[in-house]
Structure 1
Amino acid sequence: MTTSGPPTAAPRTLVELRTLIDAIDERILALLNERARIAAEVGEHKRAAQPSAPFHVPAREREILARLEALAAGPFPREAIRPVFQEIMSACLSLERPLRVAFLGPEGAFSQQAVKYQFGLSAHALPQRSIAAVFHAVEGGQTDYGVVPVESATQGVVDPTLDAFLESELRVVAEILLPLELALLVHHDVDRAAVRRVYAQPELLRQCERWLSANLPQATPLVASSATEAARLAREDPEGAAIAPDVAARLFDLRIAAEGVQDAGGDATRFWVLGRKPSTRSGKDRTSLVVSVKDGPGVLLRVLEPLARRGVNLTRIESRPTGRRAWEYAFFLDLEGHETDEAVAAALADLRAVSAGVKLLGSYPRAEPLAR
């Protein structure tokens, strides 16, 4: 005699599965609207309690993202949690007032990608003509934050950013590490095989040499002055394409024909977020500062010795003349830890005792490189 177990449920049909997804999407939308209403109430409470308090609280955003990433159990990708909830928080914050963020333009530049990553699509990204103009926009209160490049993995530090800090009281409140992500942009009705010319900056053409050779051998590379100019030229050329960040596609009504066209081992850029108030301690911080010294024997040792004695790890050092007095130099340092950490605070005090001056640029959460 044989016995049979409970009947096996019949596999759900494609129509049934799509119906379930539609219902879940509607529930998600309803929850988003509920979250937005509660976020608006939070804004009202903050304004009533402290009318002059900042409406944007980065530390609170970091707490939310860290908690949600820790709860990740799959199958939804853990690396997708941050961008999804960053957009949700950006949209909810825009109900109170969109964040205004200055960046080194023009529109479509890599700095705009950094703004999008850090603040979401609901922030108002305002292009500036120079790094100095980004500083001025934040200093003058025209924007809440600024985003400037500070270091490239292949081209080194960005001198105008470091130089601007010598005359500015702004603070570094966050850092962003973005890998070079390039896309091939074409007209909406053009197939990739029909492309005859590819416009790009010389450096970006170099970064995509192998991909272009393998995928567009029929196309002639042509130099453009910027990624934005490349997209504009491609827009005017029915058989043209551009190598540019994907944000340029929307600006010039182009189609993304291929993503990730940079060759393996490509560039990455580190950006600093500029603000008017210091960042709170996160527990995984970096501190940037400028130490001014008179040139002479053993000057570098005098700068490094207090850090070694206090057990503070130095992750970067860059030197340049201050331009203020003859033979005076500035060392730009990156240290592990926050300015309020006991060891870092003691090292800063020691540095002030052996140097012509110490200027703290900021203590801020360390950024992790984004996966390609």
Structure 2
Amino acid sequence: MTAAHSPEESSRPRYTYLGPEGTFTEAALLQVTGPEVAELLPCTDVVTALDQVRSGQADRAVVPVENSIEGGVNATLDTLATGTGLRIVGEMLVPVTFTLCARRGTALRDVRRISTHPHAWAQCRRWVAEHLPATADDRSDAVVHVPATSTAAAAALLSEGPQPFEAVLCSHLSAVRYDLEVLAENVADNPGAITRFIEVAAPGPLPEPTGADKTTLTVHLPDNEAGALLRMLEQFATRGVNLARIESRPIGDSLGRYSFSIDAEGHLSDERLREALIGLHRVCPVVNFLGSYPRADGVPPHLRPGTADADFRAAREWVAGLGSH
């Protein structure tokens, strides 16, 4: 049963995010809005957070999409690629370091099982191998990973009572919120790790171009055609559109069929990107537009000579004038 909302709550925008409270996703969400102006709704997984926007139960969702160590977040990429009714309207970057926490009274030497999200484990496993178990001479006694749906979910479970793990890797915010004892701080194999998050809404007017934008697409290639991937990439290259990210994902209907999730530099209003989309539509059977939005780092693209908007307009005017002479 859905809980009743007060008139004040129902008038505020509703934001879903990968919960529970204390996740890095919540930290990204707080870059966009806060509980004083919006209703923040933690979800158990990425799919639920996005589907609530798709169904109209929420206005926006904030979910992880890419990590500088592990790459794309498959649950997000696949949910965006299937179905309709979602647009990316913004992105946020969150530096990621972890805190090793346990129930009070637990010593570092007692830790043999650590629960956390798989992406978090991937960013900390070298540190864990070097530091835990602290007194073990036999490496067969090494600490093992217990997967969790999120870093904060692991912390929340441990705070409720004994679990089949002794410690968690989570954010410092989770350690404080769930009253866990900190065994080690700034745990990370790569101190400069960053996770990229996206803000997702229902289709509507696009964010205004800023000159430092991204456009996200999902593209399918023709089946059994030699050079299909090259032809797809040429649509960007010949128009001077740089790709900030490209990842293949299985389509799922048969073995060996893949789609490509792409972040292109530029906005739908940019002439070079519009021309690239026209080219993609001619040579690819499926092209899904998932939004144009400002880059979080504010870095504008480097334009190759001949690829500025004015260059495309001048070329079209020249062609249009050829028949009048």
4+ aligned runs moved over 6 Å, structure 1: none
Mapped contact 2:99–2:172 kept (Cα < 8 A): yes
Computed over aligned residues only, the root mean square deviation of the Cα atoms, in angstroms, reads 3.5
- The match for 2:31 is 117
- The match for 2:240 is 311
**Greater helix share, structure number:** 1
- The match for 1:293 is 221
- Do structure 1's residue 172 and structure 2's residue 88 form an aligned pair? yes
One-letter code of the match for 1:262? A
Q: Which moved more, 1:201-210 or 1:153-162?
A: 201-210
Instruction: Report 1 or 2 for greater relative contact order, CA contacts < 8 Å, sequence distance ≥ 6.
Output: 2
One-letter code of the match for 1:111? T
Which whole-Å CA distance do the structure 1 matches of 2:233 and 2:129 have between them? 46
The residue matched to 1:340 in structure 2 has which SS? coil
Cα distance change on mapping 1:212 and 1:107 into 2, 3 Å = farther
What do the CA deviations read for 1:30-72 (whole angstroms, capped 9, x no partner)?
xxxxxxxxxxxxxxxxxxxxxxxxxxxxxxxxxxxxxxxxxxx
Following superposition, the deviation at residue 297 of structure 1 comes to 0.8
- Do structure 1's residue 344 and structure 2's residue 273 form an aligned pair? yes
Cα distance change on mapping 1:133 and 1:95 into 2, 3 Å = closer
- The match for 2:186 is 260
Mapped contact 1:185–1:231 kept (Cα < 8 A): no
What do the CA deviations read for 1:96-138 (whole angstroms, capped 9, x no partner)?
9554221223443332232233324544332223322122211
Cα distance change on mapping 1:242 and 1:174 into 2, 3 Å = same
Mapped contact 1:148–1:271 kept (Cα < 8 A): yes
Mapped contact 1:113–1:245 kept (Cα < 8 A): no
Mapped contact 1:205–1:221 kept (Cα < 8 A): no
Following superposition, the deviation at residue 355 of structure 1 comes to 1.8
Q: Work out which of the residue numbers 34, 56, 59 in structure 2 matches 1:141.
A: 56
Following superposition, the deviation at residue 338 of structure 1 comes to 0.5
Q: Which runs of 5+ in 2 are unaligned?
A: 1-7, 137-141, 299-325
The residue matched to 2:31 in structure 1 has which SS? helix
Which whole-Å CA distance do the structure 2 matches of 1:351 and 1:283 have between them? 23
Alignment length, in residue pairs?
271
Which whole-Å CA distance do the structure 1 matches of 2:102 and 2:73 have between them? 31
The residue matched to 2:30 in structure 1 has which SS? helix
Which whole-Å CA distance do the structure 2 matches of 1:309 and 1:202 have between them? 40
- The match for 1:248 is 174
Q: Which runs of 5+ in 1 are unaligned?
A: 1-93
Mapped contact 1:100–1:143 kept (Cα < 8 A): yes
Following superposition, the deviation at residue 271 of structure 1 comes to 1.8
What do the CA deviations read for 1:149-181 (whole angstroms, capped 9, x no partner)?
222222222222222222122101111222322
Which whole-Å CA distance do the structure 2 matches of 1:222 and 1:320 have between them? 29
One-letter code of the match for 1:126? L
Which whole-Å CA distance do the structure 2 matches of 1:195 and 1:309 have between them? 56
Which whole-Å CA distance do the structure 2 matches of 1:255 and 1:343 have between them? 54
Following superposition, the deviation at residue 346 of structure 1 comes to 1.4
Which whole-Å CA distance do the structure 2 matches of 1:287 and 1:169 have between them? 16
Which whole-Å CA distance do the structure 2 matches of 1:366 and 1:134 have between them? 22
Cα distance change on mapping 1:223 and 1:236 into 2, 3 Å = farther
Cα distance change on mapping 1:218 and 1:101 into 2, 3 Å = farther
- The match for 1:275 is 201
The residue matched to 1:248 in structure 2 has which SS? helix
Following superposition, the deviation at residue 146 of structure 1 comes to 0.7
- The match for 1:43 is none
Cα distance change on mapping 1:197 and 1:359 into 2, 3 Å = same
Larger Rg: 1
Which whole-Å CA distance do the structure 1 matches of 2:57 and 2:25 have between them? 18
- The match for 1:366 is 295
One-letter code of the match for 1:260? N
Give the TM-score taking structure 1 as reference length.
0.61
Give the TM-score taking structure 2 as reference length.
0.69
Identity of aligned residues (%): 36
